[in-house]
Structure 1
């Protein structure tokens, strides 16, 4: 498959890179419904909602091709392994088909790589055949060596994506980190960028750096700008 790039990507393809983020703590039921309706209107890849909102999102998006995703161990990754597995099973039961889990950041920084690998693997097993698993490293707290090793652990554990950030740390996706993550895993593992992608130019930049999914809240503004800027690439 030809890699996506900013020079040839179409509006439809670009929309399908976006996981529309509905994770801020202040969102009420009407906000979540409106966000899901926006996601369906723009035909993005998925919405990423809080666990409490999975059933609501699944109902609103029934009959569309927009997937329902949620978060596990969010936002700090400090839940026990058993809690993360329970969260994964409950989310799937409620209708989620994509799971964005946060690693145990403290364990990663302590060099407890076997634990981090096992934790990811246990969530992958809970989701097997039912949901994609995207693993959030939270790069803001890791060294370059830890980002590379964390990406490798994600692949060793059998997850589908390695992701930069939660959106709740001091910094988010950087181009250097995305390139490092891409270089650290095989093509079997995809890359998701999140936190700080608020403009069309930043969205296209992370696509060129290897991301095939992007967590974003400025979905409508970015896709509308793309349509206006590239009217020959709407298909």
Structure 2
């Protein structure tokens, strides 16, 4: 198994979050992109404003690394129009994967029609442009019943509106890695949450993001059936080193 082809190497901190200047943070992003090229990871996951830089670097290197970005990050409460505009620009700039943050707060409030509409329209935009679409449900913000119901909802919207050959291009993703939990509770993928997602989102694929910090943990996730792993420590995981990264 080539574990690198499961890894979405990820850097999503803003300069403010990283405590850096814009230029310093951009240099870190550039380093992550170059590392993804050198290590031949599946994908580099970055903020929308860095997609064009990644596209240029990957093209110049004649690399097969694909480019992912986040939409509506990280709270997911952007309006549908805002999410679609952000996604359109990312597509224009060269993104291959669009990781939408589902409006899980609206879902928790029972605003199901709003959530269904954004899943439908976001997925339609991505698939019509031959992109991979992932829906981040933020498992740390949900209880078990909500994880099950939201995973099922995404599956049902996709299966009701798109052809079977599209299913492999739509994922349910566990986490942003930026959700603030209390009492040291996990803010990303856990095995129980991933199992619930796998059982209720199938035949859609699952991406485990946040909290996968070792090679062994990554292998366990893949053995469960996860198709992608999002991590800011892809090189350490690939080389069997433990990381203390927070996402």
- Deviation of 1:83 after TM superposition, in Å, equals 0.5
- 1:125-140 paired onto structure 2 within 5 Å: 125-130=124-129, 131-140=131-140
Residues 36 and 47 in structure 1, CA contact (< 8 A), matched pair in contact too: yes
> Which of 189, 198, 205 is the equivalent residue of 1:182?
198
In the alignment, structure 1 residue 80 sits paired with structure 2 residue 90: no
Separation in 1 of the partners of 2:153 and 2:11? 28
Residues 178 and 210 in structure 1, CA contact (< 8 A), matched pair in contact too: no
Deviations 1:8-43 (A, max 9, x none): xx2x2x111111001112362221111111111111
- 1:169-208 paired onto structure 2 within 5 Å: 169=179, 170=181, 171-187=187-203, 189-208=204-223
Aligned residue number for residue 54 of structure 2: 57
Aligned residue number for residue 157 of structure 2: 157
User: Whose RCO is larger (CA < 8 A, sep 6+)?
Assistant: 1
Separation in 2 of the partners of 1:218 and 1:199? 9
- Deviation of 1:163 after TM superposition, in Å, equals 0.5
- Deviation of 1:129 after TM superposition, in Å, equals 3.5
Residues 208 and 229 in structure 2, CA contact (< 8 A), matched pair in contact too: yes
Aligned partner of residue 211 in structure 1, secondary structure: coil
Specify which structure has the higher proportion of helix: 2
Separation in 2 of the partners of 1:143 and 1:28? 35
Residues 162 and 192 in structure 1, CA contact (< 8 A), matched pair in contact too: yes
- Deviation of 1:210 after TM superposition, in Å, equals 2.1
Separation in 1 of the partners of 2:26 and 2:178? 21
- Deviation of 1:111 after TM superposition, in Å, equals 1.7
Separation in 1 of the partners of 2:13 and 2:220? 25
Separation in 2 of the partners of 1:38 and 1:129? 30
- Deviation of 1:186 after TM superposition, in Å, equals 2.3
Separation in 1 of the partners of 2:116 and 2:43? 26
- 1:1-235 paired onto structure 2 within 5 Å: 10=1, 12=2, 14-26=3-15, 28-62=25-59, 63-130=62-129, 131-158=131-158, 160-169=170-179, 170=181, 171-187=187-203, 189-225=204-240
Listed as ranges, the gaps of 5+ residues in structure 1 are 1-9, 227-235
* Number of residue-to-residue matches in the alignment: 214
Separation in 2 of the partners of 1:109 and 1:163? 17
In the superposition, the TM-score normalised over structure 1's length comes to 0.87
Moved more, 26-35 or 196-205: 26-35
- Deviation of 1:201 after TM superposition, in Å, equals 1.6
Superposition misfits of 4+ residues, deviation over 6 angstroms: none
Separation in 1 of the partners of 2:150 and 2:109? 12
Deviations 1:150-184 (A, max 9, x none): 11222233270000000001311010010111100
Aligned partner of residue 135 in structure 1, secondary structure: strand
Listed as ranges, the gaps of 5+ residues in structure 2 are 16-23, 159-168, 182-186, 242-247
Aligned residue number for residue 232 of structure 1: none
Separation in 2 of the partners of 1:54 and 1:16? 20
